[in-house]
Chains A and B, each alone.
Chain A
Amino acid sequence: MGHFEARTDKGTGHVRVTLTGECDLAVRDELHAVLTAAVRAAPLVIVDLGALEFLDSSGVHGLIVAHHEAQARGARVTLVNPTGAVAAVLDLTGVGSLLGTPAGEPAPAGQRPDVAGGESAPVGKRPDVAGGESASSRHRTAVGDEQTRAGG
């Protein structure tokens, strides 16, 4: 499992923050600083989780803080490409639904800049989010259900 890194790429009208490695309490301040700067830099912050190997409630806290900061500025934070245990955490907490593009509802043209840039993973293509909660879903081990992957 890898060391946490956050890379920011500025686009036109958006900022893309790519997280890699493991995101936990040890990197809380770093995550907060990166996301705060991103929210201040553009009206749309795309957080790419495709290479993130671990996310816990500390990381979710950072995402939600950024979400609130964005809302206060009329901006938006959206999460793309979560896989495995990261997708499971977002699903369990409802944060995947809150900050992902709802399945079956493509983001408006011009609002999903480089999501398609070399990757086939559509925003919000999360069958287990679209399927809704059922009693048995509490036992779902979403880890491994989700094969959507970022390229790299």
Chain B
Amino acid sequence: MSDEFYETTYAEPGDLAKVREFVRTRAAHLGLPETRTELLTLAVSELATNTLQHTTGGGVVRLWADDGRVVCDVIDGGPVRTLGRGMPAADALRGRGLAIVERVCDEVGVDASEDGTRVRLALAVGRHEAGHPG
């Protein structure tokens, strides 16, 4: 199924609302329930925000269905992110974005692809107890 996917791009903060609407619409179309769609939308928005804050360019979002999951790649020119840092203290100023992504998605992986640094997210379409890492 991964030969069929939806794609959008972003380059500035004003694009973030468009990216969220893209994820909401496409993930719902692929069968992700509304509450899970909102969590995926949040995760993608956090990653795109990260791109815009820490790199000089924009990024690409690709989304598709695979084996009972909705899978989403966020690709940018930033460094490979370090996962597993945990949620900062409630009164900390920074460092929440990636921690939120890791908490709301069933699967999160990072690697260097030929297009750039790729963060791959997945949420199960069905029961939401499926496969949370850690």
Interface of A is mostly: helix
Tell me the smallest distance from the CB of B69 to a CB of chain A, in Å: 15
What residues of chain A lie closer than 8 Å to B20, measured between beta carbons?
1, 22, 54
- What is the CB-to-nearest-CB distance from B58 to chain A, in angstroms, rounded to a whole number? 13
Complex contacts, B96 vs chain A, CB 8 Å: 57, 60-61, 93
Which A residues are CB-close (under 8 A) to B93?
61, 64-65, 68
Q: Is the CB of A143 within 8 A of B87?
A: no
Which residues of A lie under 8 Å from residue B45 when comparing CB positions? Answer: 24, 54, 56
- B53 part of interface (Cβ distance < 8 Å): yes
Q: Which stretch (B1-9, B36-44, B59-67) binds chain A?
A: B36-44
Closest to B129 in A: A139
Contact among A26, A60, A88, A144 with B34 in the assembled complex (CB-CB below 8 Å): A144
A30 to chain B, nearest CB (A): 11
Q: How large is the interface on B (under 10, 10 to 19, 20 to 34, 35 or more residues)?
A: 35 or more
Are A143's CB and B49's CB within 8 A? no
CB distance from A99 to the nearest CB of B (A): 8
Q: Can you sample 25 A-B contacts with CB below 8 Å?
A: A1-B24, A22-B17, A26-B14, A26-B17, A54-B41, A56-B46, A56-B97, A57-B97, A57-B100, A61-B96, A88-B104, A89-B42, A89-B100, A92-B87, A92-B103, A93-B96, A94-B87, A138-B132, A139-B132, A141-B35, A141-B39, A143-B38, A143-B39, A144-B34, A144-B35
Residues of A within 8 A of B38 (CB): 84-85, 88, 143
A103 on the B face (CB < 8 A): no
